[in-house]
Chain A
Amino acid sequence: MNGAGRHALGVLGRATFLALVLGFFALPLLWLATAPFDGHPGIAMSVPDFTLRNFRALLGNPYALTSLRNSLIQAGGSAALVVTLAALAAYALSRVRVPGRDALLYVLLLLSSVVTGTAAMVPLFELATRLNLIDTHLGVVLTMSGGLLPAAIFIMKDFMDGTPTSYEESARVFGASPLQILRHVVIPLVRPGLATIAVWAVANVWGGFLQPFILLRDPDKAPGAVILYTLYTEGGAPRLDLISTFSLLYSLPVVVMYVFVSRRYGFRFHGGIKR
């Protein structure tokens, strides 16, 4: 085959491939974009008979809004805990040669990927039962934070290592205490790192299903992830108006946060850390 023919075939092949990829990834998502606004939402994707009535149905459901509040409590609580503890630990590990530091960091990195919710669900359930943490927000916050912390410390230490120490030294010359230096000098410098960790933690807990599914029996405490699952698995025909609007409302914060972070700080890899 001559060069021009091969080139044309290549262009055609690439275009077909991209069209297929677009179709494959868009197809499941279309329903989420149309059904919430459809007067008679079905499972099938269709051009909506536009309405906002479905959102009113959502307000009438006793668990829908409560569950979003619960998601907020659990995600916010975990993020606050993870950011605080990770920042303190990462700062100390970055600035002071604590004995066994390198080994500690290595083990932390290992732990973050080895001990997953799947591998530890039995002992976590047992632990929560014995500590009376079943059916509490605190139980979810502590388990989730424990899982997120190793990776968070690792990412934070990267940020801390990247900031110059000269500001801290001059602040010290002027007589600031270590805690003051941390609060007024270091934290403003590593704010992008703190924001990254906070968003990453919130997104993880907000979308997390396994841990709250195991640790919470009371639907009044269940977060959005669990309530959505029960909306389509439990009892009779699924209420599609409710499911579609709730899915949209529940997904929105994650998407907004993602757009915010990638606009503001760019999308960076941190050793392949995902969830």
Chain B
Amino acid sequence: MSTDAAGLGRGRAVGFVLPALVLIGVFLVFPALWTIYLGLTDYRLTGLEAAEPRVVGLDNYTAALGDERFRGSLWLTAQYVLGSAVIGQAGLGFSIAWVLRDRRGPVKRVTEGLVLLAWILPSSVVAFLWIALLDRDEGTLNALLHTPGLAWLLDHPMPSIIVFNVWRGTAFSMMLYGAALANVPPSHLETARLAGASTFQQLRDVVVPRIKGHVLTNLLLISLWTFNDFSAFQITAGGPEGRSEILPIYIYNVALSGGRLGFGAAISFLVLIINLVVAFVYLRLLRTRREDARREVAAP
């Protein structure tokens, strides 16, 4: 809509937009650009380089590639995103939405409520809840499994934070697939079922073709969020010995805790680039879907 109904005029309109743009510019765009420059220096929090940082070109990047800790962190991040988002959250979220699709009543409400609660509680709270759950001596999980003294967070840090993040983030996928499944006509499923199709065949032939767009949207968004998620820091802080040090925690530990700001900025820039690629693909997808929808509306 671009009819200027209130008689705002171009000048005043610009005045309305400007304050927001200034804030975004200073606290979002400028930091992003500054990361590029800082990543090319040997800037440190303390010491000689803090007073007079030198431009070292691509040294930070070559150092990172040669650094075993960085390569290890990349590998852990891939496991984290693939395990907890792509397989865990999307898989569990879809399964719950599928099982609940034509249910009504308290079972559905309670299940959805609990899954949502895990999603909306503040990260500091859920982090402690999981520390308590997985505690070596008195944790509820050890009591349930009769495995006293098993230190989950020390012996299996990566599986622990992966399961944690599945628990934390499944709600979004559940709701998205719930909405998507509501658009699959029940009559099509019924026909397939009467023709003797198994659940797997129904999913493959009737459901998946109709929700393909949603699946892609879902996978891109949850991967992006999980890739940037800092909550695991509050459970393991990357330990023990860096065995759960995914990229966000790695950046914090190296740059702000370890003081190597220039090096940390270089890694941050890599994160920015990866985010940018994922977001581009997502927006491209959104646009083609919107155009398809427009064509469908226009066709009949």
Interface residues of A (CB under 8 A from B): 10, 14, 17-18, 21-22, 24-32, 42-45, 81, 85-86, 88-89, 91-98, 106, 108-111, 113-127, 142-143, 145-147, 149-150, 153, 161, 165-166, 168-169, 171-172, 178, 181-182, 185-186, 203, 206-207, 209-210, 214, 224-226, 228-229, 232-233, 243, 247, 250-251, 254-255, 258, 267, 269, 271-272, 274-275
Tell me, yes or no, whether B265 is within 8 Å of chain A by CB.
Answer: yes
Given contacts A28-B130, A147-B27, A225-B124, contact A43 B228 (CB under 8 A): no
Tell me, yes or no, whether B55 is within 8 Å of chain A by CB.
Answer: no
User: Which 7 A-B pairs have CB atoms at the shortest separation, nearest pair first?
Assistant: A146-B27, A165-B5, A207-B122, A92-B16, A123-B31, A96-B13, A168-B5
Given contacts A122-B35, A149-B24, contact A98 B17 (CB under 8 A): yes
Interface string of B93-107 (1 = CB under 8 A from A): 001100110000001
Nearest B residue to A186 by beta-carbon distance? B6
Chain B residues with Cβ below 8 Å from A89 are: 16-17, 19-21
**A-B pairs with beta carbons under 8 A, tally:** 293
Interface contact B13-A274, CB-CB below 8 Å: no
A249 to nearest B CB, angstroms?
A: 10
Chain B residues with Cβ below 8 Å from A127 are: 26-27, 30-31, 34
Interface residues of B (CB under 8 A from A): 1-10, 12-17, 19-21, 23-24, 26-32, 34-35, 38, 92, 95-96, 99-100, 107, 110-111, 114-118, 120-133, 135, 137-141, 143-144, 167, 172, 175-176, 179, 199, 217, 221, 224-225, 228-231, 234, 237, 247-248, 251-252, 255-256, 261, 264-265, 268, 271-272, 275-276, 279-280, 282-283, 286
Interface contact A122-B6, CB-CB below 8 Å: no
A251 to nearest B CB, angstroms?
A: 5
A121 to nearest B CB, angstroms?
A: 6
A245 to nearest B CB, angstroms?
A: 12
A-B contact pairs, 28 of them (CB 8 A): A27-B133, A28-B130, A31-B133, A42-B138, A44-B143, A85-B23, A86-B20, A98-B13, A98-B17, A110-B276, A115-B28, A118-B229, A123-B34, A123-B35, A123-B268, A127-B30, A150-B24, A150-B28, A172-B5, A172-B6, A172-B7, A207-B122, A247-B124, A247-B128, A250-B124, A251-B121, A274-B225, A275-B225
Nearest A residue to B237 by beta-carbon distance? A233
